[in-house]
């Protein structure tokens, strides 16, 4: 059984806006790092809220660890397993002090004070924000705030973290910090990550890329397989990583460079081999 099972999801926000998702089937395994890609309005943020039961599908089911998110009484159990980090770091902090904000989730779960203390300290250390535990959130940088928000989810000891465009409002440095934190949590702590993004360079770091377009899944696979389908992605006006784009264009212009590089280093070595350096 998969950790998250989506079966034939249909969803609409109301009559006027029409259906946003048209029959999505998706399985996510424990420990996976999945990037969910797509345009604005393709339904990826809706997916984020469906994963932890903030939204319930009109038809079809979402099961987290075997629990149906549609059952109201079990929604707390779903949210103990799947945490959500949103785009705007300012809008998801409840308390005026970093450590108290991180403690908010565990406090809601009714955990003993000593245990909360332990979890908060560990969570802040995991995201590298332990030294800032007594600071006020509004004095932190965007990347730091977003890491605190992630710590708030870790402290609940969820198995899975869904991040809905966590880097969209950050500068390049903050983006790097958040991406490093996410990768660390997946690789070292075994937390399942679902990263919703429209940055291709971030998607490349995942184990698996799911591309959505117009409320449907366009393609699904490991980054190399997905991004080698350059024509398909282009047809749906989606970008590919810059390195892939360069090689694709060179090949289209008559070169025959083998492989499908995903980042600068790979691209460089592919080019070096091609020109015989």
Partner 1 sequence: MISDITMGQFFPGKSVVHRMDPRVKLCLTVFFIVMIFCAKNFVTMAITIAMCFAGIALSKVPMKLYMKSLKPILFIVAFTAILNLFYGTGEPLIAFGPVKITLNGILNSVMIAIRIVVLILISSILTFTTSPTQLTDAIERLLKPLGYLHIPVHEFAMMMTIALRFVPTLLEETEKIMAAQKARGADMESGGMIQRIRALIPVLIPLFVSAFRRAFDLATAMESRCYHGGDGRTKMKILKLGKIDLTTLISCVVFLGVFIVLNTVIPPIIR
Applying CB under 8 A, the residues found at the interface with partner 1 are 49, 52, 54, 76, 79-80, 83-84, 86, 88, 90-97, 99-100, 103-113, 116-117, 120, 134, 136-138, 149, 152-153, 156
Q: How far apart are CA 168 and CA 200, in angstroms?
A: 12
* Of 86 and 244, CB closest to partner 1: 86
- How does strand 59-64 pair with strand 4-12? antiparallel
Q: How far is the CB of 190 from partner 1 (least distance, A)?
A: 21
- The residue (of 40 and 91) whose beta carbon lies closer to partner 1 is 91
Question: Closest separation between CB of residue 146 and partner 1, Å?
Answer: 12
Q: How far is the CB of 265 from partner 1 (least distance, A)?
A: 37
- Which among 147, 37, 34 has a CA at the least distance from the CA of 101? 147
Q: Please tell me whether residue 170 adopts helix, strand or coil conformation.
A: coil
Residue identified by tokens 């490093």 is: 180
Q: Given the complex with partner 1, which of 105 and 223 has the nearer CB atom?
A: 105
Q: Would you give the DSSP letter of residue 135?
A: S
Residue 107 neighbours by CB distance under 10 Å? 16
User: Could you give the angle at the alpha carbon of 41 between the alpha carbons of 93 and 163, nearest 5°?
Assistant: 35
State in angstroms the smallest separation of the CB of 164 from partner 1. 10
* 144 vs 244 by CB, closer to partner 1: 144
Q: How far is the CB of 75 from partner 1 (least distance, A)?
A: 9
């Amino acid at each position: 059984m998969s950790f998250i099972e989506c079966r034939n999801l249909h969803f609409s926000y109301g009559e006027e806006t029409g259906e946003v998702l048209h029959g999505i089937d998706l399985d996510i395994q424990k420990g996976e790092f999945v990037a969910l890609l797509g345009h604005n309005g393709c339904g990826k943020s809706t997916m984020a809220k469906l994963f932890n039961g903030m939204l319930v599908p009109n038809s079809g089911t979402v099961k987290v660890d075997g629990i149906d998110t549609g059952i109201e009484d079990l929604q707390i159990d779903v949210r103990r397993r799947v945490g959500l980090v949103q785009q705007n770091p300012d809008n998801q902090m409840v308390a005026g002090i970093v450590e108290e904000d991180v403690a908010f989730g565990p406090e809601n779960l009714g955990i003993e004070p000593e245990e909360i203390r332990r979890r908060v300290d560990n969570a802040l250390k995991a995201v590298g924000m332990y030294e800032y535990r007594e600071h006020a959130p509004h004095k932190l940088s965007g990347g730091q705030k977003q890491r605190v928000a992630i710590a708030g989810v870790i402290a609940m000891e969820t198995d899975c973290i869904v991040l809905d465009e966590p880097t969209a409002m950050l500068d390049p440095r903050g983006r790097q910090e958040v991406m490093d934190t996410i990768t660390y949590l997946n690789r070292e702590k075994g937390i399942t990550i679902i990263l919703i993004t429209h940055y291709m360079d971030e998607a490349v770091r995942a184990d698996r890329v799911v591309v959505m377009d117009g409320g449907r899944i366009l393609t699904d696979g490991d980054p190399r397989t997905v991004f080698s389908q350059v024509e398909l992605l282009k047809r749906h006006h989606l970008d590919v990583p810059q390195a892939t784009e360069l090689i694709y264009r060179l090949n289209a212009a008559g070169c025959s460079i083998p492989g499908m590089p995903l980042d600068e280093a790979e691209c460089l070595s592919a080019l070096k081999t091609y020109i015989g350096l």
